[in-house]
């Protein structure tokens, strides 16, 4: 363990946003400072790591997609990683990053807003309807399981945000801005949402109900309109076309000049 431990306890015993069953489902550790919450997990997960959650007040060298690094501001956002040891076939695990993002958007919308404010951008961004970024997700395989890293902007404003196109929950919710809903509450909301969706997926896989819930949360899929995107793939290849759908393995279907492409990794830019 590289992080200095502040405390370890059942964080959610008195939270209005989480049930006793959920509090027992997750084991949450709060650390003061870490290099990365992802690094707080060993290279090979053990059974005892299942549903473990590591939360950091400060992360000095967070990692994003394609090994991009970032530094989080202390005690403003939520930076945490959780361990999952899925019982389903490994070939199905590629759905989990999309499930986690969709669960975050769905649970926060249900608890914080009366309308759909938070959406997902394929493959791993949490955004608003204009594409401004609340946070993101990074999933890494670890032996017989995987570690899901999550970063969410909560109280940041102005130059506290990492990039100009970022946004925080406090900027769109007065209840967050005034402290009526705390960062601990938001963590509880998110973990409860992930638990519910994950348990459903373990039982049923990415069936049509699960796919429908993802489509509902997805800005990339565009609701009733066809979304035009630019897909920048590893190796420099670029595909521009219209998004058609999502597959149960998480691959995005994009049509370009009457050819259907399956995009499984890359950066997606919304053109329309």
Residues 37-75 have pLDDT tens digits of 999 998 889 998 999 999 999 988 655 554 555 566 788
Asked if residues 263 and 221 have their Cβ atoms less than 8 Å apart, the reply is no
State the Cα–Cα distance between residues 117 and 217, nearest whole angstrom. Answer: 10
pLDDT reported for residue 254: 97
Domain residue ranges in the chain: 5-217, 228-270
Question: Which residue in the block uniquely carries the two structure tokens 């570690």?
Answer: 147
Dmax of the chain from CA atoms? Answer: 56
Q: Please state which CATH class domain 5-217 belongs to.
A: alpha beta
Q: Which CATH architecture group holds 228-270?
A: Roll (2.30)
Q: In the predicted model, what is the mean pLDDT of residues 150-174?
A: 92
CA distances (Å), origin 116, targets 35, 83, 119, 120, 127 = 34, 28, 7, 11, 11
* Tokens at 172, concatenated: 């769109």
Residues 80-130 have pLDDT tens digits of 999 999 999 999 999 999 999 999 999 999 999 989 999 999 999 999 999
Q: In the predicted model, what is the mean pLDDT of residues 243-255?
A: 96
Please tell me whether the overall predicted TM-score, pTM, comes out greater than 0.85 for this model: yes
Residues 193-223 have pLDDT tens digits of 999 999 999 999 999 999 999 999 999 997 7
Residue bearing the bigger pLDDT, 18 or 185: 185
């Amino acid at each position: 363990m590289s992080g200095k431990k502040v405390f370890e306890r059942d964080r959610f015993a008195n939270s209005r946003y989480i049930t006793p069953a959920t509090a027992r489902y997750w084991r949450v550790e709060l650390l003061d400072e870490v290099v990365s919450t992802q690094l707080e997990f060993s290279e090979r997960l053990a059974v005892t790591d299942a549903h473990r959650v590591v939360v950091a007040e400060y992360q000095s060298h967070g990692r994003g997609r394609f090994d991009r690094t970032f530094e989080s501001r202390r005690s403003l956002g939520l930076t945490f990683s959780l361990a999952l040891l899925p019982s389903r076939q490994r070939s199905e695990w590629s759905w989990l990053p999309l499930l986690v993002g969709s669960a975050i958007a769905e649970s926060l919308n249900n608890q914080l807003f009366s309308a759909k404010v938070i959406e997902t951008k394929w493959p791993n961004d949490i955004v608003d309807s204009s594409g401004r970024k609340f946070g993101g997700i990074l999933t890494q395989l670890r032996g017989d399981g995987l570690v899901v890293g999550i970063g969410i902007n909560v109280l940041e404003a102005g130059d506290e945000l990492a990039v100009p196109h970022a946004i925080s929950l406090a900027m769109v919710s007065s209840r967050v801005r005034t402290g009526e809903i705390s960062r601990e509450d938001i963590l509880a909301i998110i973990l409860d949402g992930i638990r519910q969706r994950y348990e459903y997926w373990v039982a049923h896989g990415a069936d049509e109900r699960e796919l429908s819930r993802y489509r509902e949360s997805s800005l990339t899929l565009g609701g009733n309109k066809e979304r035009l995107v630019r897909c920048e793939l590893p190796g420099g290849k670029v595909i521009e076309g219209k998004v058609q759908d999502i597959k149960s393995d998480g691959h995005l279907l994009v049509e370009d000049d009457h050819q259907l492409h399956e995009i499984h990794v890359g950066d997606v830019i919304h053109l329309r």
